[in-house]
């Protein structure tokens, strides 16, 4: 169907091809096929089957692309996807039901409801770090909302991209769900078309391009981006548990290459040494004396990112601040968990999102100063974390730190709570998904008002008189007393 | 050197940063002040609307002053509820964790309003932005200059100048504002300008709400029921076309779809109603607004220039260029490819399109881009269901026109070319808020299998945990399950 720009004799996927794909999907959508509850259920069940029957292949593709440990692939990609499908299958009936809306005296007699309908033909552009999860989870949402879908997986995870293309073609309804593989040219061709919604997961630079392209067609977008997710570590906590949870959220998630990875730590000068020691202890317990030998760490995705991370590590005022790790293997694209203490706040590693296994620790005199530091960094990150037992600090954190999502005393787990909307704010994105929020993201909530013919308020219509004005004032206020009074005044006038 | 515009915005940002707009008491005081502004200046508001658009006080009250008062009062009564964090369910696996969603203001927001409802479309979004705790720059439309001046002069007298600012000016000011970084842009206007707004917003990844328009049709299927229902239908169509700013409204009825055999009945009813409401001819026209300016007047007159279109006029058609008045005009079956049937009319011209069978209206509507509203006058429940499931629009209103605007519990917004995002009631609060997810955990208990080195046992444990298969977990721990 849709070809990559590989060999000369293979067709190029250009704007014409993209137009044809959209037309085909729009024709399918117009038949009403994707709207039926049965179609949605069939597709979601097929996806579950797809995941069940291909676990080893998925794990292998992720190993190829990212050296992702089987554990992470199994849990954070496959299992989370299955959960998503199961939740949608269980709740979809409920999500699809119209929601009753209250009506007031002003429009009496009337009844109102809000009906969810699919937006139509939607585009999902996903990222390379969780290639299955970030491709198929939005697809689950789009299917449950009844849309036709084009999925563009990231070319930076090529084994995963091609496996996704194959599996989707084999298991799902190709007349309504298609995968287009490729890089910039193919993505640009897709972005030129008119979509009813675009969901993009990735970085801020490309997000701007996506939104600008969407603007031409007035297409609404969901942008799931990233940022520098800070971790504030207070004293008087269970340091061992806190350290382990930070490690799990940082190096345990694709070796720091995750949008909600703890990016950097802020702690007090007094506590820093204890924290560093705790990290050293737990990191060794988890990954052994030589982390480059551990099977439980992903590698860096490609040499571009390896070079980028090396540059961050090697910056003059930063390289001297390494207190743990620093080992690298360029051939295998490996970087060991590396901790820095007190790098300058204007260093590169503190300016851009790290997205890798480097963890700077910044120290302050008093833990409350962390908030100023976070605010002065400017951007609003996707997540922010705090480890503390201090109630006041928790309150201040929750009220004042602006981020997509906050977690107190853990990292990353809020992803597993489907009742929480997952999304960013400011530079970390717009819109949200997961669970019902995905269903909503791909739906139009249509307002419906039912009126009868009784009760026609004559005072809506001309001729407009002062008396009518008084009555209208009462009617619009919705106050029954006011209305009765005005009516009485009208009749007795 | 910062321009005065940039200085104003810097002040808005500073106020927001210092938490000046955060407290519920501040928000309530601003909303109360806004209510006072409206209450104490009703006459000036009526005067400005009459000057800019020829609106009568009743129309002004019905569509602007009354709507705003209702909106502020409703918001004041619900604000505490809306601001409170909402609990979210947490799976047993994470016990004793807590989760909640807390609405937070976005920051410094920009509101562009339109000229046809210069007060409602400026102040209703403002109510939402303030209630959500933001600082606001309001840019009213200069095409309603008396209303714009009123807002520029009066808002500073009632509201907190450090947090709410109004900027006068035209398209050039709008363009300059769009170059700057905002935390949200709320735009009401045409799709053409909507595209420019979104493209500018993309540079800063600013979320936008676009309230646009389209050709909102009225399907008429009730003329063959009782005479009284037919009369009410006609009244509601006339009221929904020429009532709001003489058709210059995003939710005005743009055109009517009716069965061939009922067309003449409809036209007769409409004529009677128009004469009763507005007068017999253009000389004695009353209770109706005028066209906003020469440019719009010319645009509307041009729609009638096509001889095939002019030939289809069955009522009205007279224009008064000096007074910028076009009388209520009805056209019967103008050519479907004429401009009047492809562009949003936004004026007092009402095409009536006849169909063999009223069910054809669904395909007809679907051949055009998604409108803001579909009005359907019908008592046929099956037909209603078909309209709901086979068409797409921002809103559907059965058996009436315009009133959906007054429902605070219904989201007001478009889909497709008619826009995205929504407001009114709590939706206004939400549109200017960020819903922040928060999860609280304790240090105990620990789920050991999260941590490396990973083993098959840990993998199985977590698989069961992820499926919330607590029974399976117990079996595993007791040794009854094997990897």
Q: What is the pLDDT of residue B412?
A: 97
DSSP B374-408: EEEE---HHHHHHHHHH---SEEEES-SSGGGG-T
Q: Give the residue among B235, B51, B96 at the shortest CA–CA distance from A451.
A: B235
Q: How far is B399 from chain A (nearest CA, A)?
A: 5
The mean pLDDT of A250-257, rounded to a whole number, is 96
Higher pLDDT: B401 or B477? It is B401
Q: Label residue A461 by pLDDT band (50, 70, 90).
A: confident
Q: What is the pLDDT of residue A8?
A: 46
CATH of A230-422, one of 3.20.20.70, 3.40.309.10, 3.30.830.10, 1.20.1530.20: 3.40.309.10
A258 and A130 Cβ atoms separated by less than 8 Å: yes
Helix or strand or coil: residue B36? helix
Residue entry with tokens 């921002």:
B394
Q: Among A394, A417, A468, whose Cβ lies nearest the Cβ of B90?
A: A417
Q: How far is A355 from chain B (nearest CA, A)?
A: 20
pLDDT digits (tens, 9 = 90+) for B334-369: 999 999 999 999 999 999 999 999 999 999 999 999
Q: Inter-chain contact B199–A446, Cβ cutoff 8 Å?
A: no
pLDDT digits (tens, 9 = 90+) for B164-202: 999 999 999 999 999 999 999 999 999 999 999 999 999
Q: What is the pLDDT of residue A491?
A: 57
pLDDT digits (tens, 9 = 90+) for B275-332: 999 999 899 899 999 999 999 999 999 999 999 999 999 999 999 999 999 999 999 9
Q: What is the pLDDT of residue A1?
A: 44
CA–CA separation, A245 and A247 (whole Å)? 5
Q: Label residue B28 by pLDDT band (50, 70, 90).
A: very high
Torsion region of B49: left, alpha or beta (phi above 0 gives left; psi -120 to 50 gives alpha) = alpha
Tokens of A79: 């299992």
Number of residues that make up chain B:
483
Burial B318-340 (b: 16+ CB within 10 A, else e): ebeeeebbbbbbbbbbbeeebbb
Q: Give the residue among A13, A302, A303, A37 at the shortest CA–CA distance from A182.
A: A13
Domain ranges of chain A: 15-225+435-445, 230-422
A117 and A102 Cβ atoms separated by less than 8 Å: no
Helix or strand or coil: residue A335? strand
Q: Inter-chain contact A477–B69, Cβ cutoff 8 Å?
A: yes
Q: What is the pLDDT of residue A9?
A: 45
Q: Look up B250 and say whether it is catalytic.
A: yes
Q: Among B62, B195, B450, whose Cβ lies nearest the Cβ of A216?
A: B195
The mean pLDDT of B64-89, rounded to a whole number, is 96
Residue entry with tokens 């099956």:
B382
Q: How far is B400 from chain A (nearest CA, A)?
A: 6
Number of neighbours of residue B35 by Cβ within 10 angstroms? 19
CB neighbours of B217 closer than 8 A, spacing ≥ 6?
B253, B254, B255, B256, B257, B361, B364, B365, B371, B374, B375
**What does DSSP say about strands B108-112 and B184-188: parallel, antiparallel, or unpaired?**
parallel
Q: How far is B85 from chain A (nearest CA, A)?
A: 11
CA–CA separation, A174 and B29 (whole Å)? 57
CB neighbours of A350 closer than 8 A, spacing ≥ 6?
A228, A264, A343, A344, A360, A362, A377
Q: What is the ipTM of this complex?
A: 0.95
pLDDT digits (tens, 9 = 90+) for B211-243: 999 999 999 998 888 888 999 999 999 999 999
Q: Give the residue among A84, A415, A488 at the shortest CA–CA distance from A259.
A: A415
- The CATH number that domain B217-413 falls under is 3.40.309.10
Tell me the CATH architecture of domain A15-225+435-445. Answer: 3-Layer(aba) Sandwich (3.40)
Tokens of A259: 């949008």
CA–CA separation, A444 and A102 (whole Å)? 19
DSSP A189-242: HHHTS--SEEEEES-HHHHHHHHHHHHHTT--EEEE----EEEEE-SSS-HHHH
A177 and A153 Cβ atoms separated by less than 8 Å: no
Average pLDDT, chain A: 93
Q: Inter-chain contact B410–A413, Cβ cutoff 8 Å?
A: no
Tokens of A64: 């190829």
Nearest CA in chain A to B458: A71
Q: Inter-chain contact A296–B202, Cβ cutoff 8 Å?
A: no
pLDDT digits (tens, 9 = 90+) for A73-99: 999 999 999 999 999 999 999 999 999
CA–CA separation, A91 and A87 (whole Å)? 6
Tokens of B103: 């609405």
Q: Label residue A427 by pLDDT band (50, 70, 90).
A: very high
Cα B78–B80–B85 angle (5° rounding)?
Answer: 115
Cα A471–A472–A477 angle (5° rounding)?
Answer: 105
Query: Which letter does DSSP use for residue B409 in this model?
Result: T
CA–CA separation, A249 and A226 (whole Å)? 15
Task: Name the CA radius of gyration of chain B, rounded.
Answer: 27
Domain ranges of chain B: 4-88+100-212+424-434, 217-413, 443-478
The angle that helices A158-171 and A131-144 make with each other, rounded to 10 degrees, is: 30
Q: What is the pLDDT of residue A481?
A: 76
pLDDT digits (tens, 9 = 90+) for A374-399: 998 878 999 999 999 999 999 999 99
Helix or strand or coil: residue B321? coil
3-state helix, strand, coil in chain B (%, to 5): 50, 15, 35
Q: Does residue A475 have a pLDDT over 80? A: no
pTM beyond 0.90: the answer is: yes
Q: Does residue A136 have a pLDDT over 80? A: yes
Average pLDDT, chain B: 95
- According to the CATH classification, is domain B4-88+100-212+424-434 in 2.70.70.10? no
pLDDT digits (tens, 9 = 90+) for A89-125: 999 999 999 999 998 877 778 899 999 999 999 999 9
Q: Inter-chain contact A476–B70, Cβ cutoff 8 Å?
A: yes
Nearest CA in chain A to B241: A461
Percent of chain A's residues with pLDDT above 90: 86
Q: Does residue A2 have a pLDDT over 70? A: no
Chain A residues lying within 8 Å of B67, measured CB to CB: 476
Question: What's the distance, Cα to Cα, between the start and end of chain A in Å?
Answer: 77
Chain B residues lying within 8 Å of A425, measured CB to CB: 104, 106, 434, 436
Q: For chain A, what is the total number of helices (H) and then of strands (E)?
A: 19, 18
Q: Give the residue among B350, B399, B402, B385 at the shortest CA–CA distance from B219.
A: B399
φ/ψ of residue A83, rounded to 5: -60, -45
Q: Which of B42, B205, B417 to mutate to test the interface with A (most CBs of A within 10 A)?
A: B205
DSSP A416-478: G-TTS-B---GGGEES-BSTHHHHHHTEEEEEEEEE-SS---GGGSSSP-HHHHHHHHHHHHT
Q: Which of B19, B22, B274, B443 to mutate to test the interface with A (most CBs of A within 10 A)?
A: B443
Number of neighbours of residue B286 by Cβ within 10 angstroms? 11
- Helices of type H across A228-323: 239-250, 269-287, 303-314, 316-319
**How far, in Å, are A191, A430, B137, B361, B369 from residue A115 at the CA level?**
29, 23, 33, 21, 19
Number of neighbours of residue B161 by Cβ within 10 angstroms? 14
Query: Which letter does DSSP use for residue A288 in this model?
Result: -
Q: Is A52 exposed, middle or buried (0-12, 13-18, 19+ CB in 10 A)?
A: exposed
Task: Please state the separation of Cα B333 from the chain's center in Å.
Answer: 30
CA–CA separation, A27 and A176 (whole Å)? 9
Q: Count A/B contacts: CB-CB distance under 8 Å.
A: 293
Q: Give the residue among A447, A437, A260, A438 at the shortest CA–CA distance from A355.
A: A260
3-state helix, strand, coil in chain A (%, to 5): 50, 15, 35
Number of residues that make up chain A:
493
């Amino acid at each position: 169907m849709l070809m990559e720009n590989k060999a000369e004799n293979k067709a190029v996927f250009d704007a014409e091809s993209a137009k044809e794909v959209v037309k085909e999907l729009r024709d399918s959508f117009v038949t009403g096929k994707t709207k039926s509850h049965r179609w949605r259920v069939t597709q979601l069940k097929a996806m579950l089957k797809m995941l069940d029957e291909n676990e080893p292949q998925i794990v292998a593709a992720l190993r190829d692309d990212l050296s992702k440990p089987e554990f992470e692939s199994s849990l954070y990609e496959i299992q989370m996807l299955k959960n998503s499908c199961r939740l949608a299958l269980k709740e979809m009936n409920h999500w699809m039901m119209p929601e009753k809306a209250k009506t007031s005296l002003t429009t009496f007699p009337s009844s109102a409801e809000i009906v969810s309908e699919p937006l139509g033909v939607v585009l999902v552009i996903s990222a390379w770090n969780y290639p299955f999860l970030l491709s198929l989870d939005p697809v689950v949402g789009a299917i449950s909302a009844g849309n036709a879908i084009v999925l563009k997986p990231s070319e930076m995870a090529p084994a995963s991209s091609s496996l996704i293309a194959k599996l989707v073609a084999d298991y799902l309804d190709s007349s309504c769900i298609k995968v287009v593989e490729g890089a910039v040219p193919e993505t640009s061709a897709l972005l030129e078309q008119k979509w009813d919604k675009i969901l993009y997961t990735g970085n801020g630079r490309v997000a701007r391009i996506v939104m600008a392209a969407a603007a031409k067609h007035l297409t609404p977008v969901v942008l799931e981006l990233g940022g520098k997710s800070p971790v504030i570590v207070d004293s008087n906590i269970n340091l061992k548990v806190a350290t382990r949870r930070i490690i799990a959220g940082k190096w345990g998630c694709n070796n720091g290459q995750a949008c909600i990875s703890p990016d950097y730590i802020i702690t007090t000068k007094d506590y820093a040494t204890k924290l560093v020691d705790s990290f050293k202890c737990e990191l060794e317990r988890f990954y052994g004396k030589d982390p480059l030998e551990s099977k439980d760490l992903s590698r860096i995705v490609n040499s571009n990112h390896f070079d980028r991370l090396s540059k961050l590590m090697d910056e003059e005022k930063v390289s001297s601040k390494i207190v743990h790790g620093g080992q690298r293997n360029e051939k295998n694209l490996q970087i060991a968990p590396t901790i820095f203490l007190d790098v300058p706040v204007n260093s590169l590693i503190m300016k851009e999102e790290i997205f890798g296994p480097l963890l700077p620790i910044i120290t302050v005199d008093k833990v409350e100063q962390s908030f100023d530091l976070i605010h002065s960094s400017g951007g609003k990150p996707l997540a922010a974390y705090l480890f503390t037992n201090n109630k006041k600090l928790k309150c201040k954190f929750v009220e004042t730190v602006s981020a997509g999502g906050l977690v107190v005393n853990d990292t990353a787990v809020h992803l597993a709570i489907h009742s929480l909307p997952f999304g960013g704010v400011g530079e970390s994105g717009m819109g949200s998904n997961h669970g019902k929020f995905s269903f909503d993201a791909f739906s139009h909530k249509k307002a419906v008002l039912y009126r009868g013919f009784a009760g026609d308020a004559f005072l809506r219509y001309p001729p407009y008189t002062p008396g009518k004005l008084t009555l209208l004032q009462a009617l619009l206020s919705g106050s029954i007393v006011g209305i009765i009074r005005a009516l009485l005044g009208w009749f007795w006038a | 050197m910062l321009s005065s515009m940039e200085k104003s915005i810097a002040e808005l940002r500073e106020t927001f940063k210092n938490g000046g707009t955060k407290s519920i008491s501040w928000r309530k005081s601003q909303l109360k002040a806004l209510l006072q502004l409206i209450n104490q200046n009703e006459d000036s508001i009526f005067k400005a609307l009459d000057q800019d658009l020829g609106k009568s006080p009743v129309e002004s009250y019905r569509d602007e002053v009354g709507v705003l008062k209702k909106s502020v009062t409703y918001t004041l009564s619900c604000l505490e509820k809306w601001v409170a964090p909402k609990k979210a369910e947490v799976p047993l696996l994470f016990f004793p964790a807590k989760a909640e969603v807390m609405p937070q203001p976005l920051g410094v927001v920009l509101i562009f309003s339109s000229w046809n409802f210069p007060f409602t479309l400026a102040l209703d979004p403002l109510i939402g932005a303030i209630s959500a705790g933001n600082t606001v720059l309001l840019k009213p439309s200069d095409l309603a200059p008396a209303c714009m001046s009123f807002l520029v002069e009066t808002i500073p007298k009632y509201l907190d100048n450090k947090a709410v600012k109004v900027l006068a000016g035209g398209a050039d000011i709008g363009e300059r504002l769009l170059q700057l970084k905002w935390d949200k842009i709320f735009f009401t206007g045409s799709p053409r300008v909507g595209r420019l707004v979104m493209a500018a917003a993309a540079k800063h990844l600013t979320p936008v709400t676009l309230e646009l328009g389209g050709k909102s049709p009225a399907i008429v299927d009730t003329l063959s029921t009782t005479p009284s229902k037919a009369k009410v239908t006609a009244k509601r169509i006339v009221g929904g076309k020429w009532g709001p700013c003489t058709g210059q409204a995003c939710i005005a009825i743009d055109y009517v779809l009716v069965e061939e055999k009922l067309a003449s009945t409809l036209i007769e009813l409409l004529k009677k109603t128009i004469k009763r409401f507005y007068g017999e001819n253009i000389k004695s026209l009353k209770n109706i607004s005028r066209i906003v300016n020469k440019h719009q007047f010319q645009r509307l007159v041009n729609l009638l220039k096509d001889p095939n279109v002019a030939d289809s006029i069955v009522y009205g058609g007279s224009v008064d260029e000096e007074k910028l008045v076009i009388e209520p005009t009805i056209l019967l079956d103008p050519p479907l490819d004429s401009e009047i049937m492809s562009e949003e009319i936004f004026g007092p011209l009402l095409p009536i399109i006849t169909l063999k069978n009223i069910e054809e209206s669904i395909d007809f509507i679907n051949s055009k881009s998604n409108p803001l509203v579909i009005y359907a006058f019908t008592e046929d429940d099956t037909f209603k269901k078909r309209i709901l499931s086979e068409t797409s629009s921002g809103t559907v209103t059965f058996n009436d026109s315009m009133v959906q605007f007054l429902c605070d519990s219904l989201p007001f917004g478009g889909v497709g070319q008619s826009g995205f995002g929504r407001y009114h009631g709590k939706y206004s609060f939400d549109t200017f808020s960020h819903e922040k997810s928060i999860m609280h955990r304790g240090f105990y208990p620990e789920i050991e299998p999260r941590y490396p080195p990973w083993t098959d046992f840990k993998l199985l444990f977590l698989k069961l945990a992820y499926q919330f298969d607590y029974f399976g977990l117990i079996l595993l721990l007791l040794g009854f399950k094997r990897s």
